[in-house]
Amino acid sequence: EDQVTQSPEALRLQEGESSSLNCSYTVSGLRGLFWYRQDPGKGPEFLFTLYSAGEEKEKERLKATLTKKESFLHITAPKPEDSATYLCAVQATGATNKLIFGTGTLLAVQP
Amino acid sequence: GAVVSQHPSRVICKSGTSVKIECRSLDFQATTMFWYRQFPKKSLMLMATSNEGSKATYEQGVEKDKFLINHASLTLSTLTVTSAHPEDSSFYICSASTGLRAWETQYFGPGTRLLVL
């Protein structure tokens, strides 16, 4: 069964304290891995798509990497405005276009 | 670009009534739109996939007669919750795919909070 697990469930950082969020996945074949940011009461905001192991993408203080079993979202020198829930989702090869989401990591960055 | 809107953002209704939620892609044509449901502190669960001009494909366990989906144009999909009950209270989010291939990046709307009394 295709599955996505994110860790930690929650993370509290001081402003400027870099860290990484983990997304482990089990799929029959990976078509794409997606990272989204979700603020309370809002829909997910697209951050990155990764397609193959070894691929990396960056946007401001965020960098996403991908291996054959997991993806990391690295946050460098975070600011309070980076506080949000970060969601990871995978799309498996096959007949469907379904996104399978993890339960997310709730990030709180304190000033 | 790739902006998706939803209306209403919040709705309160009485048990037994029907509620319609609209999802629009504002700056692109969406061949495929998706409807998700999210419970507090839980992840998004796909309810159905909607293709313009054809019947929606529902996920296992989702009642198609209760959650009616219409995708009448390339920029509009609607979800109607029929005979709503308190257990239908949730956060409903739509997404749309920008490309011809539905497995490309999905862009999400801001969500609709439904409360059934």
Largest CA-CA distance found in chain B, in angstroms, rounded: 40
pLDDT digits (tens, 9 = 90+) for A33-48: 999 999 998 999 999 9
Is the sign of the CA dihedral B102, B106, B112, B115 positive or negative? Answer: positive
The per-residue pLDDT for B55 is 87
Beta strand ranges found along chain B (DSSP E): 4-7, 10-13, 19-25, 32-38, 44-51, 57-58, 67-73, 76-81, 90-97, 106-108, 112-116
The per-residue pLDDT for B99 is 62
The per-residue pLDDT for B100 is 59
> Given a cut of 80, is residue A94 above it in pLDDT?
no
Asked if residue B46 lies in contact with residue B40, where contact means CB atoms within 8 angstroms, the answer is no
The per-residue pLDDT for B72 is 83
Over range A19-32, report the average pLDDT: 93
Alpha carbon of residue A57 to chain centroid: 12
Which of these, B41, B36, B83, B40, lies nearest to B62 by C-alpha position? B36
pLDDT digits (tens, 9 = 90+) for A96-110: 668 899 999 999 999
**Measured between alpha carbons, how far is A104 from B23 in angstroms, rounded to an integer?**
24
> Given a cut of 80, is residue A50 above it in pLDDT?
yes
Say whether A73 sits in a helix, a strand or coil: strand
Q: Token pair of B81, please?
A: 């919750």
Distance from CA of A101 to the nearest CA of B (A): 6
The one-character DSSP state at B117 is -
Interchain CB distance below 8 Å, A99 and B46: yes
The per-residue pLDDT for B101 is 59
Over range A62-66, report the average pLDDT: 98
The per-residue pLDDT for B28 is 86
pLDDT bracket for residue A28 (50, 70, 90): confident
Q: In this prediction, what percent of chain A has a pLDDT beyond 70? A: 97
Q: Chain A residues with CB inside 8 Å of B51's CB? A: none
Range list of H helices, chain A:
none
pLDDT digits (tens, 9 = 90+) for A69-88: 999 999 999 999 999 999 99
Distance from CA of A7 to the nearest CA of B (A): 13
Which of these, B28, B39, B12, lies nearest to B95 by C-alpha position? B28
10-residue block means of pLDDT along chain B (117 residues)? Answer: 91 97 92 90 89 88 94 92 96 85 77 96
Interchain CB distance below 8 Å, B107 and A49: no
Asked if residue A25 lies in contact with residue A32, where contact means CB atoms within 8 angstroms, the answer is no
Phi/psi for A56 (5° steps) reads -135, 145
Alpha carbon of residue A82 to chain centroid: 13
Interchain CB distance below 8 Å, A44 and B110: no
**Measured between alpha carbons, how far is A18 from B44 in angstroms, rounded to an integer?**
27
When CB atoms are compared, the residue of B42, B45, B110 closest to A43 is: B110
pLDDT bracket for residue A95 (50, 70, 90): low
Instruction: Using alpha carbons, list the distances in angstroms from residue B32 to A24, A65, A101, B22, B75.
Output: 27, 28, 18, 14, 9
The per-residue pLDDT for B103 is 56
